[in-house]
Amino acid sequence: MAEAMVFDAIRTPRGRGKSSGSLHEVKPITLLTGVLKELQKRHDLDTAQVDDVVMGCVTPVGEQGSCIAKTAALAAGWDFRASGVQLNRFCASGLEAVNMAAQKVRSGWEDLVVAGGVESMSRVPLGTDRGAWACDPETAFDTAFIPQGISADLIATKWGFSRADCDAYSVESHKRSAQSWQEGRFAKSVVPVKDILGLPLLSRDEMIRPDSSMQSLGALKPSFADMGRNFGFDGVAIQKYPEIERIDHVHTPGNSSGIVDGASAILIGTKEAGEKAGLRPRARIRAAASIGSEPTIMLTGPSFAAERALGKAGMSKADIDLWELNEAFAAVVLRFMQVLDIPHDKINVCGGAIAMGHPLGATGAMILGILLDEMERRGAATGLATLCIGAGMGTATIIERV
C-alpha cells in the first residue's frame, strides 16, 4: 500500500476573532489563498499535479460558503485541474482534511493532495450556519443538546477539575506559547499575512498573554453559568448525568480556547509523487481515526480516538513521544491527561489554543504542523494529534518522522 507522506505544513498567525483583530479586514478566501500561494511558492509546486485540495471549514456560509476549498484554489491561481472539496467535522475539520488526504493517497487513487482549513471567526461568527441540532425541537430533545461550554463544565464537574486546576493549566499554556515564539519554534511554518499593498498585517499569534497569572485569570467571570442556569442547559446535562447535583461552571474566556481568524495547509502525497516534484518527506501518517462519543458530555472523544488510532497502528500510548490535544477548554485536556495518564511535559509542549486561539476549521492542521516541527526540534520519532469535537466525536492522527 502507498504511504502518505507529509512534505510541508504551514499556517497563518492567528488574529483576534473580533472586529478589533488584525485579520478582520482579511476575507476568509484571502486567508486561504495566502497559504496556498505560499505552499506553491516554497516548493515551486506544479499545481496541475495536485489532485485535490481538501479544506475544513466549520461555518461554510456567506463568504466561507460555496466550497471555499475549490474557490480558493482557483483564486490562488492554481491550475484548474486541481480539484477542491470543503468538509465539516466541526473542530477537527482541519485534521479530518489531513486524514482524508492521507486516505486518498494510501488508497492509491490520488497522489498529491493539499489538506488544511480556514475560519474567519471575526467575519463569519460561529453558529451563523444554524443547523438542526440545537434549533429543531425534535432533534434537540432527542439528542439532549447542550452548548459545548456546558459540556466542558460538565467534564470538570464529573471528574473534579476545579476552577484553579483549569486556570493553572491556562497559565502554563500562555507561558509555553510565549516561550515557543520567543525561541522561534514556529518561525519556519507561520506565514505572515499581508494586505494588497504588501504591508504586513500580522506575523505572530495575537492572543497570547505571557503575563497571565492565577490572579488575572481568577478575576474572570464564568462564561456559561448564566446560560446554563437560566436556559435549562444545566438541567439537560444533569438529565444525562444524574449522578451530578449541580454543574460547577469553571470555564471562563481565560481557560477556554480563543476565538480567532486563521488558515492552514499541509502538503501530503506518495513518496513517488514527492520525488517527482522534488519534495522531501518529513513524516508519514501512520494511522488516523474518527470516533463518536456520548454527545451531551461531547468533548471526551479524544481519548477514544487516540486509542482507536493507536490500535490501528499497532502501537500503544507508550510509543508516542509527543502529544497534541487541541485546547478547546482546559478541562478537556485535564481529563485526557487523567484518563490516558499522560504527563503534562509530553502534551501541548508549545502551548495551545487557550493562548493562541482556535480558528475552528483550520486548527486541526495547525496543531499537526506544530507537532511535526516540535518532533523535529526535539528529535522525537512519533507524535499524535487529536481534537475534541461537537456532537460527541474525536479525531486523531499519528505521525512518524522519516
Partner 1 sequence: MTSSISYAVDSDGIATLTIDQPGKSMNVVGPEFVAGLEAAIERAVGDVSVKGIILTSGKSSFVAGADLIGMESMIAAAKTAPAAEALKAVLHFTQVLRRLETCGKPAACAINGTALGGGFEIALACHYRVAADSESIKIGQPEVQVGLCPGAGGTQRIPRLIGIMPALPLLLEGKNLTPEKAKAAGLIHEIVPAADLLAAAKKWLTSPAAKAIQPWDEKSFKVPGGAGGMNPNAVQTFIAGNAMLRDKTQGNYPAAQAIMSCVYEGTSVPIDLGLKIEAKYFLSLLRGDVAPNMIRTLFVNKGRADKLARRPAAVPKAQFKKIGMLGAGMMGAAIAYVAASNGIEVVLVDRDMEAAERGKGYARKLVEGAVSKRRMTQDKGEALLARIHPAVDFAALADVDYIIEAVFEDKDIKADVTKRVEAVIRPGVVFGSNTSTMPITGLAEASVRPANFIGIHFFSPVDKMPLVEIIRGKETGDEALAVTLDLAQAIKKTPIVVNDGRGFFTSRFCGCYIAEGEIMLTEGIPAAMIENAGKLAGMPVGPLSLADEVAIDLGWKIHKATAAALGDAYKPNAAVPVMETMYVNNGRAGRKNGKGFYDYPEQGQKSLWPGLADLYPPKEESLWPSIEELKKRLLYAQALDAVRCMQEGVLTAPEDGDVGGIMGLGFAPYTGGPISLVDTVGIPKFIEECEALAAKYGERFAPPQLLRDMAAKGETFYPASKAAA
Alpha carbon distances (Å) from 272 to 288, 365, 378, 396: 22, 23, 28, 26
> Quick one: 205 or 234, whose CB is closer to partner 1?
234
Nearest-angstrom CA–CA distance, 326 and 101: 20
Which stretch in 88-96, 111-119, 207-215, 239-247 sits in contact with partner 1 by CB under 8 A? 239-247
Q: Is 91 a catalytic residue?
A: yes
Could you say which residues in the range 129-188 bind partner 1, by CB under 8 A? 130-132, 134-138, 140-141, 144-146
> Quick one: 146 or 365, whose CB is closer to partner 1?
146
371, 399 Cβ separation under 8 angstroms: yes
> Quick one: 213 or 239, whose CB is closer to partner 1?
239
Closest CB 299 distance from partner 1, rounded Å: 18
Helices (H), 44-136: 68-75, 93-106, 132-135
Burial of residue 173 (CB within 10 Å: 0-12, 13-18, 19+) is: buried
Closest CB 178 distance from partner 1, rounded Å: 37
> Quick one: 129 or 165, whose CB is closer to partner 1?
129
- Among residues 57, 67, 91, 350, the one annotated as catalytic is 91
The reply on whether position 124 binds partner 1 by CB under 8 A is no
Nearest-angstrom CA–CA distance, 96 and 394: 10
Q: Is 67 a catalytic residue?
A: no
With CB under 8 A, what is the number of residues at the site for partner 1?
26
* Residue 304 DSSP code: H
- Judged by CB under 8 A, which of 67, 238, 315, 340 binds partner 1? 238
The reply on whether position 234 binds partner 1 by CB under 8 A is yes
The reply on whether position 75 binds partner 1 by CB under 8 A is no
The cell numbers describing 341, all together, are 495518564
> Quick one: 127 or 278, whose CB is closer to partner 1?
127
The reply on whether position 340 binds partner 1 by CB under 8 A is no
Alpha carbon distances (Å) from 361 to 98, 173, 210, 352: 12, 21, 26, 15
Nearest-angstrom CA–CA distance, 238 and 149: 14
Nearest-angstrom CA–CA distance, 86 and 372: 24
Nearest-angstrom CA–CA distance, 221 and 89: 30
> Quick one: 303 or 326, whose CB is closer to partner 1?
303
* Residue 347 DSSP code: B
The reply on whether position 233 binds partner 1 by CB under 8 A is yes
- Judged by CB under 8 A, which of 67, 85, 220, 244 binds partner 1? 244
354, 327 Cβ separation under 8 angstroms: yes
Closest CB 110 distance from partner 1, rounded Å: 35
273, 296 Cβ separation under 8 angstroms: no
Q: Is 166 a catalytic residue?
A: no
Catalytic sites, residue numbers: 91, 358, 388
Residues that bind partner 1 (CB under 8 A): 130-132, 134-138, 140-141, 144-146, 231-236, 238-239, 242-246
